[in-house]
Amino acid sequence: MNFSELQSIVNGSGNIVFFGGAGTSTESGIPDFRSADGLYETGKGGKVPPEVMLSRDFFLEHTEEFYEFYKSRMIHRHAKPNPAHYALADLEHRGQLQAVITQNIDGLHTAAGSKNVLELHGSVHRNYCMDCRKVYTLEQILESEGVVPYCTACGGVIKPDVVLYQEFLDINLLERATTYIANADVLIVAGTSLTVQPAASLVRYFQGEHFILINKTPTPYYGAANYVIHDSIAKVMQELVK
């Protein structure tokens, strides 16, 4: 593959969309989900599988256990954006990148300076009372007394604004993401196995000419991509935006 050709494609486009998953943040020290060192594999030794721990039923019925797992395994308070996040923010600043669509809940795209970030699965940085809907920051959740954070206004349980198993994605957000992908000239997909639905199916709406896939492990969409790169996302994105 001619890498300079990819650089020319990226630098010559004014309508790029990025769709990313957990692999985008692994170089920031945040483990992914399905690799050998991912959350699901390392969590198999526990009594309750991570998929169950992160379900709505478990949150409602075992709130303290949920928060013990959530705070210890899902929150990475000191993680910083890596070069991939900054490269995408740079592309947006130049007016070339129209949207970042992410399955991640870590908020690192925003921390790197990206403005139009569609967080399909929500964000750990947003939390709300389930009774009165008062909003809380991540810091307030982590500094609350006890394992379960309660609303200071009404005493209700505070829930992270993240999409748990058994919950639906925001339909308006999905529609916006679909529109961006359908209208893009260049689609860059990185760090996602493209197996989690309905988010993964969004790439089917791409009608442009250049589909670039960056992932270390195979995905069901390898055959659909025009360019497939098995390498560090941070390294590749840095090179692509030169």
Give the distance, in angstroms, between the CA of residue 48 and the centroid of all CA atoms in the same chain. 24
Q: Given this model, what pLDDT does residue 46 score? A: 61
pLDDT score, position 47: 80
Q: Are 89 and 112 in contact (CB under 8 A)?
A: yes
Output the pLDDT for position 34: 53
Active site annotation includes 121: yes
Supply the pLDDT for residue 221.
74
Q: What is the pLDDT along the chain (242 residues), one digit of tens a residue?
A: 568 999 999 999 999 999 999 999 999 999 976 544 545 444 444 688 989 999 999 999 999 999 999 999 999 999 999 999 999 999 999 999 999 999 999 999 999 999 999 999 999 999 999 999 999 999 999 999 999 999 999 999 999 999 999 999 999 999 999 999 999 999 999 999 888 788 778 999 999 999 999 988 778 777 889 999 999 999 999 999 98
Q: Can you give the residue ranges of every domain in the chain? A: 1-29+80-121+168-242
CB 75 within 8 A of CB 226: no
- Residue 23's pLDDT is 93
Q: Which two tokens stand for residue 238?
A: 């840095």
List of E strands, the chain: 16-20, 97-102, 117-119, 122-129, 135-136, 158-162, 186-190, 210-214, 227-229
DSSP state of 124: E
The whole-number pLDDT of residue 3 equals 83
Q: Please report, for residues 31, 37, 49, 106, 220, the alpha-carbon distance to residue 42 in angstroms, rounded to integers and kept in the order given.
A: 10, 6, 10, 19, 24
pTM: 0.92
pLDDT at 112: 98
Q: Choosing from 85, 121, 125, 210, which is the catalytic residue?
A: 121
Per-state percent for the chain, helix, strand, coil, to nearest 5: 40, 20, 45
236-to-57, 155, 158 alpha-carbon distances in Å: 40, 48, 39
Whole-number pLDDT of residue 39: 57
What is the DSSP track for 138-183?
A: HHHHHTSSSSS-B-TTT-PBEEEEE--BT-PPPHHHHHHHHHHHHH
Give me the pLDDT at residue 130, please. Answer: 98
CB 117, CB 110: distance < 8 Å: yes
From the options 3.30.460.10, 3.10.180.10, 1.10.150.530, 3.40.50.1220, give the CATH code of 1-29+80-121+168-242. 3.40.50.1220
pLDDT at 36: 46
Q: What is the pLDDT of residue 174?
A: 96
